[in-house]
Chains A and B, each alone.
Chain A
């Protein structure tokens, strides 16, 4: 559970933004803080060094004029103790002559020789650190050593630095909160969008509104809308196909049921036998319809022929003709016209076989029994046109355009076809990049051509 949440956070835009911005803010803040702290400390030390120097010069000036009263003065000066305040640390001093002999000193002053080099120095005496300033009067007669406890100085510097940092510390949570709220606000349109998408059902594929969506999310919304359109179209097709298929199965089922009931009710044997034979035919036809439906359903999801190899057109045609030869009514003739040396066609042999068989099947089904069916292959350099024509009654002109539609049956010789044969051929043509063209022939008869099948190169 915890790992799932942390995993979610890694992928959450909000958390990532917050983490990145937070890290930058914190780093900047730490650097600024450190810089301000050291700067403040340094400035405080300089100020306190300045006050040491001032004190030393004042002491030198006082000594110079009052050497006789020095002992009394030292006692007085030693009482000028600061209040217990870090900004006013106690004044510790030693006063002496140029030769280093001590004239006076404050009681807590570190016991050090005052002969050192003039200037600042840090020393440790009895576990206590001191900042010292040795100073010599201009005439070299007197020496003064003033000292401040480094401990106290540091506390003062720290206090100053902390005062500088305090506003920075206070502002950080406010800043983080503000950033968090801004990100949340900026991401609200996305949340709304997500809510809208997740509330969708397959029945509601209307386009998402593209207004009030951040520019960055527009491509996503557009892509989703395009997907909705495609999904909707596919879904519609599927639904229509399923509904159509179910309806198409109803007629053969009705026929089977009625024939079965006729067989049950018929008193005389010939009528009963006839009805039973009709049932056999009906089962065959329903089986054929189901085969064709399955075939279409398998072709539908394809984008290209499952196999793409060189096919010898002579063999393709001979195989199909041989396969339907047994079912050929006695007087129907099949006539094949091929170029002398036909070039191989690129495509899926089994699909083209199905297509050609369907065309032959249609020609047989819709022409009188003494017809001539003609299969002809015309080839140019790169493409082939495979035509199946007959000398039957043709198709009403108004129906020509709709011939490749699923479940569409042209007017004549109705009642036997299922309206899927040509739809399957059209789909196979489409997969091969070819086109299905149907026309009534001028002298009577009907032809269907698979145009622009691709030849093998060279």
Chain B
């Protein structure tokens, strides 16, 4: 799962990024509105954490421009303003959720999980498919009731696939959900992690769709 963080404050941005990476998200961090729009145009993100008080182009403008060009990325607003009007304006401009500074890192992570869950069209917190169940809150994965230890990358890859099981994910999409900018990527790392997952959940758990990418196998 890859997130875009738009936060101008160096310390806060750094902290949020570190906190989200602890939850096994790939995080791209930009510090102003213009960069945010460029990043959104170039990559597909599963969610965006957007500070309202940005220098230059402020958060509301970014949000409006995102929505006006059809960008559906779930957006969680961060702001120092806490009046109901501020919240209403933010939500009416197309934000999906709202957090007032200072906030709890755990709450931010939980709200992002909820955003991702809703974006995947699900209400239950557990993501399940063919006996594999993934709990985004605890980052635990089990197979037929047995807990299966996964590395952070394996977990991120499984999370990307299992959040919308029917969808076919291209190799590039999967790579994007694994790595933020500046992370080192090997040329065939996605294949390596797919291989690891197949070993743990059965060879037929992930189907290769030739020329398109990967998909979880249909429910048996």
For residue A437, CB closer than 8 A to chain B, the reply is: no
For residue A396, CB closer than 8 A to chain B, the reply is: yes
**Which chain B positions have C-beta within 8 A of A10?**
none
A405: min CB distance to chain B, Å: 13
Q: Is the beta-carbon distance between B11 and A255 smaller than 8 angstroms?
A: yes
For residue B195, CB closer than 8 A to chain A, the reply is: no
Instruction: Look across to chain A and name the residue whose beta carbon is closest to the beta carbon of B33.
Output: A411
Q: Is the beta-carbon distance between A261 and B105 smaller than 8 angstroms?
A: yes
Residue of A254, A258, A261, A409 near B55 (CB, 8 A) is: A409
Q: Given A247-B81, A250-B80, A254-B103, is A281 in contact with B11 using a C-beta cutoff of 8 Å?
A: yes
A275: min CB distance to chain B, Å: 6
B39: min CB distance to chain A, Å: 16
For residue B120, CB closer than 8 A to chain A, the reply is: no
**Which chain A positions have C-beta within 8 A of B53?**
251
For residue A415, CB closer than 8 A to chain B, the reply is: yes
**Which chain A positions have C-beta within 8 A of B100?**
250
Q: Given A248-B80, A414-B55, is A257 in contact with B19 using a C-beta cutoff of 8 Å?
A: no
Q: Is the beta-carbon distance between A251 and B15 smaller than 8 angstroms?
A: no
Interface string of B1-19 (1 = CB under 8 A from A): 0000001111111111011
Instruction: Look across to chain A and name the residue whose beta carbon is closest to the beta carbon of B81.
Output: A247
Q: Given A255-B12, A258-B105, is A414 in contact with B32 using a C-beta cutoff of 8 Å?
A: yes
Size of the B side of the interface (Cβ < 8 Å), in residues, is 30
B79: min CB distance to chain A, Å: 9
Q: Is the beta-carbon distance between A415 and B31 smaller than 8 angstroms?
A: yes
CA distance A214 to B103 in the complex (A): 58
Within 8 A of A (CB), among B93-110: 100-106, 108
For residue A83, CB closer than 8 A to chain B, the reply is: no
Instruction: Look across to chain A and name the residue whose beta carbon is closest to the beta carbon of B103.
Output: A254
**Which chain A positions have C-beta within 8 A of B7?**
415
Q: Given A261-B104, A261-B106, A262-B105, is A251 in contact with B16 using a C-beta cutoff of 8 Å?
A: no
Q: Is the beta-carbon distance between B101 and A265 smaller than 8 angstroms?
A: no
Within 8 A of B (CB), among A225-251: 247-248, 250-251
15 extra interface residue pairs, beta carbon distance < 8 Å, beyond A255-B12, A278-B11, A411-B55: A250-B80, A250-B102, A251-B53, A251-B80, A252-B12, A255-B14, A258-B103, A258-B105, A261-B15, A265-B22, A271-B18, A274-B18, A285-B11, A410-B55, A411-B32
6 residue pairs of the A-B complex, CB under 8 angstroms, read A251-B9, A258-B19, A259-B11, A259-B14, A261-B19, A262-B15
